[in-house]
Chain A
Amino acid sequence: MKAQRVVWGETLTKLAETDDRILVIDGDLASSTRADIFAEAHPDRFIQAGIAEQNMVGMAFGMSTLGFRPWLSSFGVFLTNRALDQVRMLVSQTKAPVRLAAAYSGLLNGASGKTHQDLEDLAVMRALPNMTVLAPADEHELRAVIEWAANYDGPVYLRLARDAVTEVFDETYEFVMGAPVSLAEGNDAVVVSTGVQTSRTVDALDQLRAQGRSFAHVHLPTLKPVDTDALSALIGDARQIFTVEEHSVVGGLGDLVSEVVTSRGLGARLDRIGLADGWAESGPNDFLLEKYGLSAEKVAARVLAGLEVLAPA
């Protein structure tokens, strides 16, 4: 069980041994984001930009025009919000091969609290043309995602969690960009999750299965572009869908699935499990997951409550 930030630093370090195009540009957070792993191994390929996220994006774009494929490393909230105009004009518009490695994404950011919690990143990045939006579930999927991204000639947003989660996959995992991943089949409802929240959702569904319930579980590592035919097929004729994400319920996974359900007339009821439209706070991970409804226990309770709506006990 390894934290994604560590796996990101290690994987890029390894890839850079054989790929001269890889650079890392740091916004002075390397010891948090673990870009320091790369900096120590490849000091000539590591650029310290200082605390200046907008300039990081501009520099990365400029370097990309000469054939480099730079990875920008900062807390996600600064890349997706403070430098959004730069990402929009220089990266999204030009389809530049710049990678945004968004560390400390979501709710759990080492007790830094609401200024540093990026709970809108998927909504913001999904709205940008040409952007590929990735939210891997664990260390194994992350390695595969980075290897895919290294060979992709376009902009990538990569959502990285600060802390380790229980593994969902193993080292045999193969990533297919855009494809939903079926983790389980079942009859009571379809549960769709993304990012490291998938790991906690696996735990939640295990708890419910122990009570005799049965669920289809779909993990979505790519939030844009999405193979909506495949997602629609996995939803099938389900009457109840739950989406689970460590993200605002506005504009993220829930809305993505809702778009598929409504545009295809699938007729399912959908419960969005995620952060309510509001601000969170500082606190230990367990406290935050419990209070904001994303612990395995809270997710399980929400799912049970949702099932009651269509089929009251």
Chain B
Amino acid sequence: MNRNDAKNVEELAAIARQGRLKVIETVTSSKAGHVGGPLSAMDLMVALYFHQMNIDPAEPANPDRDRFILSKGHCAIGLYSVLALRGYFPVEELATFDHGDSRLQGHPDMKLTPGVDSSTGSLGQGLSAASGMAIAAKKLGKDFHTWVVLGDGEIEEGMVWETVICAPRYGLDNLTAIVDLNGLQQYGWPASATDRFDRSEPMGHVDLPAVFRGFGWNTIEIDGHDYGEILAAYDEAESYRGASGKPTAIIASTIKGYGLSYTQATFKWHNGVPTPEQLATARHELGDAIDISDTDKAEALA
């Protein structure tokens, strides 16, 4: 299997800009989809798919591959953009997102989309599914890692905590939960009594790392847009596999809608369809696309 396709932090950041632009272009053309969540989680997913995970787009069903579950399935277009750029299916196919007869459903469908390891959509279920994969790996003596991205709004779902309390009992150090802590959810709670559009962080009152530690998890806190911190956290999480006997939670502080001036740090772009002018702005701000001619990825994209 190939890995480490992206060689440095600058290259990863450039791929992520491309991924963000694909999200905006696709949502614009499909006239549907989520924006804020895919953009906040983009760096976390690009670092997994272009650097960290032991995967091969040519063998999406390899039994020894690392697994990834996007538990917050409504951010599907973010995952699809990453999968397409990574070579699981043609980038042009993104244009079929949310269309009839498409392999790219509004929420990920593992039976349709190459590279999707679990169907998701109803929130709170991905970590549990991942814990099953991690237990199965232990039982079969397989040495792969299972990664999950959860939203900070999503972890309001009770089922998440059923898994959080259970996974350490089975020593699942091959499981890493990444919480995309972007501080906003679809509508949430107002932060001020006077400004309805000033929303507060869903987990603003919760000491999330302490909570995970209290349940018996390793915890790592990072800036979810800083590739140095992301890659270091992923390496640390992998170093626990077969060693710590505990699952790992990475609490990644992010900005909802990150990377694009008008979508950043607002709940109003949880979902929405950019205007032609806004699409042009996105192309201007995100358009300094990476020259991929010298990467392994060029071949996959050809």
Contact = CB atoms under 8 A, between A and B. Distances in A.
A52 B165 contact: yes
Contacts of A54: 124-125, 128, 158-159, 162
B128 A55 contact: yes
Interface stretch (A2-10, A63-71, A104-112, A187-195): A63-71
Interface in A16-63: 44, 47, 49-50, 52, 54-55, 57-63
Nearest to B111: A94
Contact of A58 (B117, B129, B169, B170): B129
B261 interface: no
Contacts of A44: 139
12 contacts: A54-B162, A57-B128, A58-B128, A59-B129, A59-B163, A62-B136, A63-B136, A65-B118, A66-B63, A90-B118, A90-B129, A94-B119
A63 B133 contact: yes
A241 B53 CA distance: 61
Interface of A: 44, 47, 49-50, 52, 54-55, 57-68, 85-86, 88-90, 93-95
Contacts of A50: 162, 165-166, 169
B140 A66 contact: yes
B186 interface: no
Nearest to B127: A58
Given A62-B133, A63-B132, A55 B118 contact: no
Interface in B117-167: 117-122, 124-125, 127-137, 139-140, 142, 158-159, 162-163, 165-166
A38 B124 CA distance: 30
Nearest to B137: A66
Nearest to A45: B139
Contacts of A64: 132
Q: List the 4 shortest-distance A-B pairs measured between CB atoms, nearest first.
A: A62-B132, A58-B128, A55-B162, A52-B162
B135 A47 contact: yes
A55 B159 CA distance: 6
Contacts of B129: 58-59, 61-62, 65, 90
B185 to A, nearest CB: 19
B228 to A, nearest CB: 32
B245 to A, nearest CB: 17
Contacts of B120: 89
A89 B117 CA distance: 14
B125 A65 contact: no
B110 interface: yes
Contacts, number: 101
Contact of B132 (A59, A93, A94, A95): A59
Interface of B: 63, 109-111, 117-122, 124-125, 127-137, 139-140, 142, 158-159, 162-163, 165-166, 169-170
Contacts of B124: 54
Nearest to A60: B132
A274 to B, nearest CB: 31
Contacts of A68: 136, 139
Given A86-B159, A94-B110, A58 B122 contact: no
- Most A CB contacts (10 A, CB to CB) among B125, B134, B137, B170 go to B125
Contacts of A58: 125, 127-129, 131-132, 159, 163
Nearest to A25: B132
B126 to A, nearest CB: 8
B63 A89 contact: no
Which of B118, B122, B128 has the most chain A CB atoms inside 10 A of its CB? B128
Contacts of A61: 118, 128-129, 132
A38 to B, nearest CB: 16
A65 B133 contact: yes
Contacts of A86: 122, 125, 128, 159
B133 A66 contact: yes
Contact of A62 (B109, B130, B165): B130
Contact of B166 (A52, A66, A89): A52
A99 B108 CA distance: 23
Nearest to A65: B133
Given A68-B136, A89-B125, A90-B129, A62 B118 contact: yes
Given A62-B135, A93-B109, A94-B111, 10 more contacts: A47-B170, A50-B166, A52-B162, A54-B159, A61-B132, A62-B129, A62-B130, A67-B140, A86-B128, A89-B120
A86 B137 CA distance: 22
A55 B167 CA distance: 10
Contacts of A90: 118-119, 125, 129
B281 to A, nearest CB: 36
A57 B118 CA distance: 13
B131 A85 contact: no
A49 B136 contact: no
Nearest to B140: A66
A85 B162 CA distance: 15
A90 B163 CA distance: 15
A63 B118 CA distance: 12
B159 A49 contact: no
Nearest to A66: B136
Contacts of A57: 128
Nearest to B109: A93
Contacts of B109: 93
Nearest to A23: B139
